Amino acid sequence: MLDFIARPMGVMVKFIYDMLKFIDNPVISAYAMAIIVAGILLKLVLLPLTKKQTDSMKNMQQLQPELEKLKKKYKNDKETLNRKTMELYQENNVNPMGGCLPLLIQFPILIGFFYVLRDPVKYAFETQAAYDAINKSFLWIQNLGFPANHVFENGAVNGLNIGVVLPFIGQALPLLALIAGLTTYYQTKMMQSGQSGGSDQAASTQNTMTKIMPLMIFFFALSFPAGLTLYWTISNSFQIVQQYVALNKGMKIGEAKK
């Protein structure tokens, strides 16, 4: 269904892989580097939308004092509080949902990447023999084509014979999946702090998303190819740095004006 997104992504991954084959090694393969570089390039393409997201978060931060006043003034009148809150947003041209657009756009890209990494022969490497021949390792992960908690038949756990198989479930410690979940939590928490101050219903929805999203990503990562989890982790990390720099820069500018 999303072949029109997956095919150019596959071409991009293969092009980057071909460019980086000279650094291929057992620790970080050219395939892993291609996934990382492709993820960063996609974040740069989405930079204008990300800027809108961070601008929206900064605008929400600037409205926090006024929002807190409304909460105290109308704490016993939820209907009036919601109406006054929306009026405040309209007066200041602030969209409380403005930070969600980049996330909505990122999901088709994520699905496109899932297609590429689920079937790299079709979308990137053209033949099964060409794909089987490449090195797909990344740090402790033996093969990014398998889930992060996959145990290989030769007894190696994601590339290292270090005995980290969890005996009660018979699987390897899903370290990459855990990192993906943690970066998702931190990114969602940053967005929540930047967009807090709305109605109680909106705050409750944000709190729920902060708790559910990391768990969803973690459990998805247990069955998805580790390459996709690697992309998600790199993308999250890049987004966290962007948001941190943008928000702190905005706070310093606001303090200077005072």
pLDDT value of position 152: 57
- Digit-coded pLDDT (tens) for 149-203: 766 555 444 444 333 444 444 445 678 888 988 998 888 777 666 554 445 555 5
Measuring CA to CA, how many Å separate 151 from each of 169, 177, 222? 11, 15, 12
Q: How many residues belong to the chain? A: 258
In this prediction, residues 219-223 reach a mean pLDDT of 84
Residue 102: pLDDT band with limits 50, 70, 90: low
pLDDT value of position 36: 92
Statement: residue 234 has pLDDT above 80: yes
- Digit-coded pLDDT (tens) for 3-51: 888 888 899 999 999 999 888 888 888 999 999 998 888 888 877 777 7
What's the mean per-residue pLDDT of the chain?
75
pLDDT value of position 254: 47
Close Cβ partners of 96 (under 8 Å, ≥ 6 residues apart): 56, 60, 89, 195, 198, 202
Residue 241: pLDDT band with limits 50, 70, 90: confident
- Digit-coded pLDDT (tens) for 61-73: 777 788 778 878 7
Q: What is the DSSP letter of 33?
A: H
User: Which residue would you say has higher pLDDT here, 131 or 196?
Assistant: 131
pTM of the predicted model over 0.75: no
Tokens coding 145: 């084509």
Close Cβ partners of 122 (under 8 Å, ≥ 6 residues apart): 10
pLDDT value of position 258: 47
pLDDT value of position 19: 92
SS (H, E, C) the chain: CCHHHHHHHHHHHHHHHHHHHHHCCCCECHHHHHHHHHHHHHHHHCHHHHHHHHHHHHHHHHCHHHHHHHHHHCCCCHHHHHHHHHHHHHHCCCCCCHHHHHHHHHHHHHHHHHHHHHCHHHHHHCCHHHHHHCCCCECCECCCCCCCCCECCCCCECCECCCCEECCCCEECCHHHHHHHHHHHHHHHHHHHHHCCCCHHHHHHHHHHHHHHHHHHHHHHCCCCHHHHHHHHHHHHHHHHHHHHHHHHHHHHHHHHC
Statement: residue 237 has pLDDT above 70: yes
For residue 195, what are the domain limits?
3-257
User: Which residue would you say has higher pLDDT here, 255 or 7?
Assistant: 7
Instruction: Indicate the range of 97-101, 154-158, 241-245 predicted with least confidence.
Output: 154-158
Q: Say how many domains are in the chain.
A: 1
pLDDT value of position 100: 64
